[in-house]
C-alpha cells in the first residue's frame, strides 16, 4: 500500500526529528516532513480515527487495518488546538488527497518546538520502502507499507495482574507518553490494556491510548495477562507513577499543602522514603546587648569558644569521611583570630560576650555570603551555625541544638546546615526536603554519602507542610507528596520496601565484577577523602579510588601540610584499599576553595580564576611537596596522579617535568599521570591530551557548569544544571572517543558517575569506568548487569539528538524502567 506526502515540504528520516520519542521510532516507523504549506491532505484512503479532540494530529485507519498517524509539529499538544482547524470529522471516510486539517504556520511555529511533522505507521503494518531525504510535493510517494502478519495465538496463560496508576504527563496520554508506554512494553509478551472512562485500549497502540482522552492526574487501571504480566506492569510503574495535585516549585496554593498535593524540587540524594513531616526552623536566640560586668565578658567568651571546640573535637572522634572533614573545618573556624579580635573589640565598647560574638560572626558571614564564591557561601553558613553554638554555651546550654525527631522523620526546612544534619538521629531520620539549597552543596554531598534521600530547591510551598503530616519523599523522580490518599501511600510504602530490599541484595552482590549482559566489564570506583571512607568503599564493592580529594589537607588551616603529613595520609588510604589503585588528585584549591596561607587578590569570577592546576603551578613548592608525598606511598605504583582543571598540553607537560624531577630525587619510577577534563577547552583538545596523558577523568560537575554557563551554586537554576544535557553529552562522547583512539582509560568522576539514570548513556558513549559515592556503588553495579552495550549505544545516540536535558532524563528513566521490568519478570530484585 502506497502512502503519499500530505503537503509540500522537505522529507527527512525520523532519526532527524527533534524529539527523542519520534526519533527513536517509539511511536512507530515512518518518515517526517518539514512543511512548506499549512494544508494537510490525506496520504491514503481511510477512516478518521477518533482522538478525543486533538486538533494537531490525525490518524487514518486504512481498509486493511493499518493506522497512519500524522502529527503536525513537535510539542504542539501544548497549543491546545490554537492555530489548527480540523476539516474532517471522526469516523468520516476520506480519499487520498482530501483535506484533513489546516494550520496557521506562523502561529504554530511561534508556539511549537518545531514544525517537522512525523508521518508514521502507528499499528497494523510495517514500512517496506521509503522515499529518500529531499524535497517533495503533495501527492509524491513517501513510503510503501505492508500489513503485519497476524501473530500466532499465544498459549493460554492463567497469569493476570492489574494495578491502578495515575497519569503524570502534563497533557495526558498524547503521542509522546503513549509511545513511551508502548516502547516500555516491547520486551514483554503479555497483553496489556489501559482502562479509563469505561473504555479500554491496547497499551501497545499509540493511537488507541490517545483515543482514551485521558488527562493529567486521572487514575487508570492497567491490566496485564500472560506469564510476564507482573514484569510488564512493573516496567510501567516509572512512567505511570502515582500523581497528585502539583504545587509548582517556588509557589504555593492556598489550602493545597496539607491536603493531597505534590511539590517538585531537585533531587540531591536519591531514594524513596515514607514518613511524617518534622519541621525545623532556626529561631534567633535572644541576647542582652549590654554587659552586666564588662570585665568578665572576655573570659566568658573564651571559655564558651573552648567548650564549642571541645564539643566539635568529640564529635570528630566518632565521625568519618565528609562529616569528619566538616567538623575539623568548624573546629578551626571557631578559633579564627580575626573572629575573636572583632568580638573582643565589641566587648571593649561595653557589649555583652554574646552580642560581640554575634556582631563579629555576622559581619564576617555577610561579607563571605556576598562573594561570587560557592565555598565562601558555605563558610558563611558555617559561621551562622557557630554563632548559635557559642551563644548557647554563654546562655548555659549545650552547644548542639536540635529537636528530637519522630520515627521516620522527613525533615522540612528552609535550608539545612551540614552540622545540623550530622547531629540528627540517623535511626529516626528518613529524608530531608528543603525550600532552598543546591544539589552540589556541602549538605547535599553529606546526605548522599550517608544514603539519606534529599530534595532541595523545592520553594517556599514546602514550608507550609504541617508538622506530623504524612509525606512521601521520592527523590528518584524529584518530588514530595503531601498527605497522599491511602492507595498511593500503600504503593509508596511498597516502593520504599522494595528499595530497602534492593539495597540489601545489592550490597550482597557488590563484591562481584560489574559485567553487562553481553560481557563488557565496567569498572566502578569510589570518590574518597579519608582512610575511613576507603574502608567503607571497599566493603561496598569499590574496585579502587577514581578520585582522592586531597584539598582537605590544605584547607581551613594556617600553614600548608608537610610532605611527611601528606605521605602518611595517602599511605593510610592506600593501605585501606588493600592494593587497589588510587587516583590522587593534586590540590584543587583556588576558586571556590581558597586557602589562607596563599593570599590571592579578590577575583570578579573565582570559577574562572586561579584554581586547580593553575593555582598549583603558581606555587611550585607546594606542588613538588605533594608530588613527592605521592611518590613515597608504598607499594610503588598503587597511586596515580590526577591533575585538576587542565586546559592544554603545556600544563600537562610542565607538571610531568616537575614530577619526573621529584621521582629522580626519590629514586622512584614516574607514576601514571592523568588529567581531569572539566573545561570545554580540555574536551575539545581531548585528542591531544589523550596522546600524552596516561588516563583521562571527566569531572562532570565543573564541565556542566562551564558548558551550560550556569553557576553550580545558583539555587534558582539548580534544576537546569544537568550533566545529561545533550551539549555536555557531546563533550563526553568526544573525550571517550579520544581515549579509545589512544588506548587510554576514560572515567567519569563527577556527580554523574553516581547517577544510575546516566549509567546506560555513559556506557553508550564509550565510558567504561565511573567513580561514585560509596553509597551508590552497589546499585550501579547491579544496573550494569542489566544492560546491553548495543542497546546502550542506541540510547546514547537518541540522547545526543534530544532537544534538552529533560528529554534525555525521560529516555534514561524509560531505559531504567525497562531494565527493572525485565529483571522482575525473571525473578530478580530489579
Locate cell 506530623: which residue? Answer: 468
What pLDDT shows up at residue 676?
A: 97
* pLDDT tier for residue 401 given thresholds of 50, 70 and 90: low
Mean pLDDT, range 424-446, rounded to an integer:
85
* CATH at residue 422: 3.50.30.10
Q: Is the pLDDT of residue 732 over 70?
A: yes
Residue 808, SS3 per DSSP: helix
Please pick, among 11, 545, 662, 749, the residue that the annotation labels catalytic. Answer: 749
Report yes or no on 670 lying in a domain: yes
Helix (H) or strand (E) holding 246: strand 246-247
What pLDDT shows up at residue 822?
A: 58
What pLDDT shows up at residue 690?
A: 98
Any residues with CB less than 8 A from the CB of 519 and at least 6 apart, and which? none
Per DSSP, the residues of 206-228 read: HHHHHHT---TT-EEEEEEESTT
From 267-271, 301-305, 376-380, 718-722, the region with the lowest mean pLDDT = 376-380
Statement to judge: residues 624 and 535 lie in one domain: yes
Report yes or no on 206 lying in a domain: yes
Q: How many residues does the chain have?
A: 830
Instruction: Among 471, 502, 533, identify where a domain stops.
Output: 502
What pLDDT shows up at residue 254?
A: 38
Cell numbers given for 765: 558513549
Statement to judge: residues 546 and 661 lie in one domain: yes
Mean pLDDT, range 788-792, rounded to an integer:
92
Instruction: Among 95, 118, 147, identify where a domain stops.
Output: 147
CA distances from 461 to 234, 248, 441, 455, 492 (A): 32, 8, 21, 13, 22
Report yes or no on 155 lying in a domain: no
Cell numbers given for 828: 530478580
What pLDDT shows up at residue 525?
A: 98
Per-residue pLDDT tens digits for 122-166: 888 999 999 998 899 999 999 999 987 644 334 444 578 888 888
From 53-57, 179-183, 282-286, 788-792, the region with the lowest mean pLDDT = 282-286
Our measurement of the distance from residue 815's CA atom to the centroid of its chain's CA atoms, rounded to an integer in Å, reads 15
Q: Where are the beta strands (DSSP E) in 435-491?
A: 454-456, 470-474, 479-482
> Is there a contact between 795 and 760 (Cβ–Cβ < 8 Å)?
yes
Statement to judge: residues 233 and 120 lie in one domain: no
Q: Is the pLDDT of residue 48 over 80?
A: yes
Statement to judge: residues 761 and 799 lie in one domain: yes
Report yes or no on 425 lying in a domain: yes
Judge if pTM exceeds 0.85: no
Higher per-residue confidence, 633 vs 75: 633
- Residue 248: count of CB within 10 angstroms of its CB: 12
8-state DSSP, 554: T
Dihedral through CA 403, CA 405, CA 406, CA 411, nearest 10?
Answer: 110
Domain containing residue 360:
294-394
Q: Is 369 exposed, middle or buried (0-12, 13-18, 19+ CB in 10 A)?
A: middle
Handedness of CA 761, 763, 766, 767 (dihedral sign): positive
Per DSSP, the residues of 267-328 read: EEE--EEEEEEEEE--PPPP--SB-SSGGGHHHHHHHHHHHHHHHHHHHHHH--HHHHHHHH
Instruction: Among 394, 413, 441, identify where a domain stops.
Output: 394
Q: Is the pLDDT of residue 414 over 50?
A: yes
Q: Bridge-partner residues for 548, per DSSP?
A: 528, 584
Q: Which residue blocks in 593-638 are alpha helix, DSSP H?
A: 613-618, 620-631
- Nearest-angstrom CA–CA distance, 3 and 345: 86
Please pick, among 442, 545, 725, 768, the residue that the annotation labels catalytic. Answer: 442
- Nearest-angstrom CA–CA distance, 713 and 372: 9
- Nearest-angstrom CA–CA distance, 10 and 157: 48
From 276-285, 469-478, 571-580, the region with the lowest mean pLDDT = 276-285
Per-residue pLDDT tens digits for 803-817: 998 889 878 877 776
Q: Is the pLDDT of residue 319 over 70?
A: no
Report yes or no on 248 lying in a domain: no
- Residue 647: count of CB within 10 angstroms of its CB: 20
Per DSSP, the residues of 341-394 read: HHHHHHHHTTB-HHHHHHHHHHHHHHHHHTSS-HHHHHHHHHHHHHHHHHHHHH
Report yes or no on 410 lying in a domain: yes
What pLDDT shows up at residue 708?
A: 93
What pLDDT shows up at residue 314?
A: 81
- Strands 470-474 and 479-482: what pairing? antiparallel
CA distances from 475 to 430, 604, 641 (A): 12, 35, 35
749 is catalytic: yes
Statement to judge: residues 749 and 801 lie in one domain: yes
Our measurement of the distance from residue 200's CA atom to the centroid of its chain's CA atoms, rounded to an integer in Å, reads 36
- Nearest-angstrom CA–CA distance, 323 and 328: 9
Statement to judge: residues 451 and 477 lie in one domain: yes
| Among 135, 79, 141, 67, residue whose Cα is nearest residue 111 | 79
Report yes or no on 154 lying in a domain: no
What pLDDT shows up at residue 377?
A: 59
HEC string of 97-129 equals CCEEEEECHHHHHHHCCECCEEEEEEECEEEEE
Statement to judge: residues 591 and 700 lie in one domain: yes
What angle (nearest 5°) sits at the alpha carbon of residue 629, between those of residues 626 and 635? 140
What pLDDT shows up at residue 73?
A: 92
Report yes or no on 253 lying in a domain: no
Q: Is the pLDDT of residue 774 over 50?
A: yes
What pLDDT shows up at residue 243?
A: 46
Per-residue pLDDT tens digits for 682-710: 999 999 999 999 999 999 989 999 999 98
Ramachandran class of 191: left when φ > 0, alpha when ψ lies in -120 to 50, beta otherwise: beta
Strand order, beta sheet including 2-4: 2-4, 141-147, 125-130
- Strands 429-434 and 454-456: what pairing? parallel
Give percent of the chain above pLDDT 90: 46
> Is there a contact between 211 and 49 (Cβ–Cβ < 8 Å)?
yes
What pLDDT shows up at residue 792?
A: 94
From 77-91, 483-497, 640-654, 667-681, the region with the lowest mean pLDDT = 483-497
Statement to judge: residues 487 and 356 lie in one domain: no
662 is catalytic: no
* pLDDT tier for residue 402 given thresholds of 50, 70 and 90: low
Helix (H) or strand (E) holding 725: none
Handedness of CA 801, 805, 807, 813 (dihedral sign): positive
Q: Is the pLDDT of residue 758 over 80?
A: yes
Average pLDDT, the chain: 85
Higher per-residue confidence, 751 vs 143: 143
Handedness of CA 402, 404, 407, 412 (dihedral sign): negative
Higher per-residue confidence, 250 vs 299: 299
What pLDDT shows up at residue 371?
A: 54
Q: Is the pLDDT of residue 543 over 70?
A: yes
Statement to judge: residues 86 and 192 lie in one domain: no
Backbone φ, ψ for residue 302 (5° rounding) = -65, -40
CA distances from 281 to 388, 398, 439, 655 (A): 13, 18, 21, 49
Statement to judge: residues 616 and 723 lie in one domain: yes
Mean pLDDT, range 303-324, rounded to an integer:
79
| Among 70, 67, 9, residue whose Cα is nearest residue 35 | 9
| Among 106, 24, 238, residue whose Cα is nearest residue 818 | 238
> Is there a contact between 830 and 787 (Cβ–Cβ < 8 Å)?
no
Statement to judge: residues 370 and 226 lie in one domain: no
* CATH at residue 233: 3.30.1340.10
Mean pLDDT, range 573-593, rounded to an integer:
85
> Is there a contact between 491 and 469 (Cβ–Cβ < 8 Å)?
no
Handedness of CA 96, 100, 104, 105 (dihedral sign): negative
What pLDDT shows up at residue 713?
A: 63
- Nearest-angstrom CA–CA distance, 313 and 610: 32
What pLDDT shows up at residue 24?
A: 75
| Among 17, 32, 94, 98, residue whose Cα is nearest residue 69 | 32
From 363-377, 445-459, 642-656, the region with the lowest mean pLDDT = 363-377
What angle (nearest 5°) sits at the alpha carbon of residue 703, between those of residues 700 and 707? 135
- Strands 582-585 and 545-548: what pairing? parallel
Any residues with CB less than 8 A from the CB of 814 and at least 6 apart, and which? 180, 183, 184, 238, 239
Per-residue pLDDT tens digits for 254-301: 344 545 588 988 888 888 899 999 998 766 788 889 988 888 999 999
Per-residue pLDDT tens digits for 490-518: 777 877 887 788 888 899 999 999 999 99
* CATH at residue 298: 1.10.274.10
HEC string of 255-268 equals CCECECEEEECEEE
Statement to judge: residues 427 and 474 lie in one domain: yes
* pLDDT tier for residue 825 given thresholds of 50, 70 and 90: low
| Among 691, 753, 358, residue whose Cα is nearest residue 527 | 753
Q: Bridge-partner residues for 515, per DSSP?
A: 521
Backbone φ, ψ for residue 661 (5° rounding) = -65, -45
Total domain count for the chain? 5
- Residue 250: count of CB within 10 angstroms of its CB: 17
Kindly report each contact of residues 12-18 with a partner whose C-beta sits within 8 Å and lies 24 or more positions away, as own/partner.
Answer: 12/116, 12/133, 13/133, 14/118, 14/120, 15/801, 16/801, 17/74, 17/114, 17/116, 17/118, 18/74, 18/113, 18/114, 18/116, 18/801, 18/803
Cell numbers given for 174: 498524547
Q: Is the pLDDT of residue 462 over 60?
A: yes
Amino acid at each position: 500500500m502506497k502512502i503519499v506526502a500530505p503537503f509540500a515540504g522537505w522529507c527527512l528520516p525520523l532519526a532527524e526529528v527533534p524529539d527523542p520519542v519520534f526519533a527513536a521510532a517509539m511511536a512507530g516507523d515512518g518518515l517526517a516532513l518539514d512543511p512548506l504549506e499549512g494544508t494537510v491532505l490525506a496520504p491514503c484512503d481511510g477512516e478518521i480515527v477518533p482522538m478525543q479532540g486533538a486538533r494537531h494530529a490525525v490518524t487514518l485507519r486504512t481498509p486493511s487495518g493499518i493506522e497512519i498517524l500524522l502529527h503536525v509539529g513537535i510539542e504542539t499538544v501544548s497549543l491546545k488546538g490554537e492555530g489548527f482547524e480540523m476539516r474532517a470529522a471522526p469516523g468520516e471516510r476520506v480519499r487520498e488527497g482530501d483535506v484533513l486539517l489546516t494550520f496557521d504556520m506562523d502561529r504554530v511555529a511561534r508556539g511549537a518546538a518545531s514544525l517537522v511533522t512525523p508521518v508514521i505507521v502507528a499499528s497494523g503494518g510495517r514500512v517496506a520502502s521509503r522515499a529518500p531525504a529531499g524535497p517533495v510535493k503533495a501527492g509524491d510517494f513517501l513510503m510503501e507499507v505492508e500489513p503485519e502478519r497476524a501473530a500466532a495465538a499465544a498459549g493460554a496463560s492463567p497469569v493476570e495482574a492489574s494495578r491502578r496508576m495515575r497519569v503524570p504527563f502534563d497533557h495526558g496520554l498524547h503521542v509522546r507518553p503513549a509511545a513511551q508506554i508502548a516502547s516500555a512494553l516491547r520486551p514483554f509478551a503479555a497483553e496489556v490494556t489501559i482502562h479509563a472512562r469505561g473504555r479500554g485500549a491496547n497499551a501497545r497502540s499509540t493511537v488507541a491510548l490517545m483515543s482514551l482522552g485521558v488527562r493529567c492526574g486521572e487514575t487508570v487501571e492497567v491490566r496485564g495477562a500472560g506469564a510476564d504480566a507482573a514484569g510488564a506492569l512493573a516496567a510501567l510503574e516509572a512512567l505511570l507513577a502515582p500523581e497528585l495535585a502539583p504545587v509548582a516549585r517556588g509557589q504555593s496554593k492556598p489550602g493545597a499543602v496539607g491536603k493531597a498535593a505534590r511539590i517538585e524540587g531537585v533531587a540531591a540524594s536519591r531514594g524513596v522514603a515514607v514518613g511524617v513531616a518534622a519541621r525545623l526552623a532556626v529561631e534567633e536566640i535572644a541576647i542582652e546587648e549590654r554587659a552586666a560586668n564588662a570585665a568578665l565578658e572576655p573570659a566568658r567568651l573564651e571559655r564558651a569558644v573552648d567548650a564549642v571546640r571541645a564539643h566539635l573535637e568529640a564529635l570528630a572522634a566518632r565521625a568519618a569521611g565528609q562529616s569528619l572533614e566538616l567538623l575539623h573545618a568548624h573546629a578551626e573556624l571557631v578559633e579564627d583570630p580575626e573572629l575573636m579580635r572583632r568580638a573582643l573589640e565589641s566587648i571593649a565598647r561595653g557589649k555583652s560576650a554574646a552580642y560581640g560574638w554575634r556582631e563579629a560572626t555576622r559581619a564576617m558571614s555577610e561579607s563571605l555570603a556576598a562573594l561570587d564564591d560557592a565555598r565562601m557561601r558555605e563558610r558563611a553558613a558555617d559561621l551562622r551555625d557557630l554563632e548559635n553554638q557559642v551563644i548557647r554555651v554563654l546562655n548555659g546550654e549545650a552547644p548542639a541544638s536540635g529537636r528530637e525527631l519522630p520515627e521516620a522523620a522527613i525533615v522540612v526546612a528552609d535550608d539545612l546546615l551540614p552540622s545540623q544534619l550530622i547531629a540528627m538521629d540517623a535511626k529516626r531520620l528518613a529524608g530531608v526536603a528543603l525550600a532552598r539549597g543546591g544539589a552540589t552543596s556541602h549538605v547535599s554531598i553529606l546526605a548522599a554519602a550517608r544514603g539519606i534521600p534529599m530534595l532541595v530547591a523545592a520553594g517556599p510551598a514546602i514550608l507550609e507542610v504541617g508538622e506530623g503530616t504524612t509525606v512521601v519523599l521520592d527523590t528518584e523522580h524529584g518530588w514530595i507528596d503531601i498527605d497522599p490518599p491511602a492507595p498511593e501511600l500503600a504503593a509508596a510504602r511498597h516502593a520504599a520496601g522494595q528499595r530497602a530490599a534492593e539495597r540489601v541484595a545489592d550490597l550482597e552482590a557488590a563484591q562481584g565484577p560489574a559485567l553487562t549482559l553481553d560481557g563488557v566489564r565496567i569498572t566502578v570506583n569510589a570518590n574518597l577523602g579519608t582512610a575511613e571512607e576507603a574502608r567503607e568503599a571497599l566493603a561496598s564493592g569499590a574496585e579502587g579510588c577514581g578520585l582522592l580529594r586531597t584539598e582537605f589537607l590544605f584547607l581551613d588551616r594556617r600553614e600548608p601540610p608537610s610532605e611527611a603529613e601528606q605521605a602518611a595520609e595517602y599511605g593510610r588510604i592506600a593501605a585501606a584499599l588493600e592494593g587497589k589503585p588510587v587516583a590522587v588528585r593534586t590540590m584543587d584549591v583556588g576558586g571556590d576553595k581558597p586557602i589562607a596561607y596563599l593570599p590571592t587578590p579578590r577575583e570578579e569570577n573565582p570559577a574562572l580564576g586561579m584554581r586547580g592546576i593553575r593555582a598549583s603551578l603558581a606555587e611550585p613548592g607546594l606542588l613538588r611537596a605533594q608530588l613527592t608525598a605521592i611518590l613515597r606511598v608504598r607499594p610503588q605504583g598503587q597511586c596515580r596522579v590526577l591533575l585538576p582543571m587542565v586546559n592544554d598540553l603545556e600544563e600537562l607537560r610542565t607538571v610531568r617535568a616537575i614530577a619526573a624531577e621529584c621521582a629522580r630525587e626519590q629514586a622512584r619510577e614516574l607514576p601514571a599521570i592523568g588529567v581531569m577534563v572539566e573545561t570545554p577547552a580540555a574536551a575539545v583538545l581531548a585528542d591531544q591530551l589523550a596522546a600524552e596523558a596516561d588516563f583521562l577523568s571527566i569531572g562532570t560537575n565543573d564541565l556542566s557548569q562551564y558548558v551550560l554557563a550556569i553557576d553550580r551554586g545558583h539555587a534558582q537554576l539548580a534544576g537546569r544544571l544537568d550533566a545529561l544535557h545533550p551539549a555536555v553529552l557531546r563533550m563526553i562522547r568526544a573525550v571517550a572517543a579520544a581515549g579509545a583512539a589512544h588506548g587510554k582509560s576514560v572515567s567519569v568522576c563527577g556527580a554523574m558517575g553516581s547517577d544510575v539514570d546516566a549509567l546506560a548513556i555513559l556506557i553508550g558513549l564509550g565510558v567504561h569506568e565511573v567513580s561514585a559515592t560509596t553509597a551508590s556503588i552497589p546499585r550501579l553495579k547491579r544496573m550494569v548487569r542489566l544492560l546491553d552495550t548495543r542497546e546502550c549505544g542506541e540510547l546514547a545516540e537518541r540522547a545526543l539528538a534530544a532537544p534538552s536535558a529533560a528529554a534525555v532524563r525521560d529516555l534514561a528513566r524509560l531505559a531504567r524502567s525497562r531494565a527493572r521490568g525485565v529483571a522482575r519478570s525473571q525473578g530478580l530484585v530489579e
